[in-house]
């Protein structure tokens, strides 16, 4: 399972891609995906600390991306 650091790296890659995107729509999608990855990082940290887990459907983005494995 990916670590919180892995999820943050994925988010950074999305933000880097957003910077080089040629359209506002694509940039927005990358930034939304980055937010999802950052949320996954937070959730992974909570799991590591024994806190509440959100369900997979709460982590799924409306844009069709799923963070579940």
Q: Is pLDDT at 4 greater than 70 in this prediction?
A: yes
Locate the domains of the chain by residue range: 4-59
| HEC letters along 4-67 | HHHHHHHHHHHHHHHHHCCCHHHHHHHHHHHHHHHHHHHHHHHHHCCCCCCCHHHHCCCCCCCC
pLDDT of 14-58, one tens digit each?
999 999 999 999 999 999 999 999 999 999 999 998 875 555 555
Mean pLDDT computed over 4-10 = 98
- What pLDDT was estimated at residue 69? 37
What's the pLDDT score for residue 28?
97
């Amino acid at each position: 399972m990916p670590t919180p650091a892995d999820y943050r790296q994925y988010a950074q890659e999305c933000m880097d891609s957003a910077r080089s995107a040629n359209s506002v729509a694509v940039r927005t999608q990358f930034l939304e995906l980055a937010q999802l990855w950052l949320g996954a990082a937070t959730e992974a940290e909570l799991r590591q600390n024994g806190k509440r887990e959100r369900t997979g459907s709460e982590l799924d983005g409306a844009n069709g991306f799923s963070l579940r494995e």
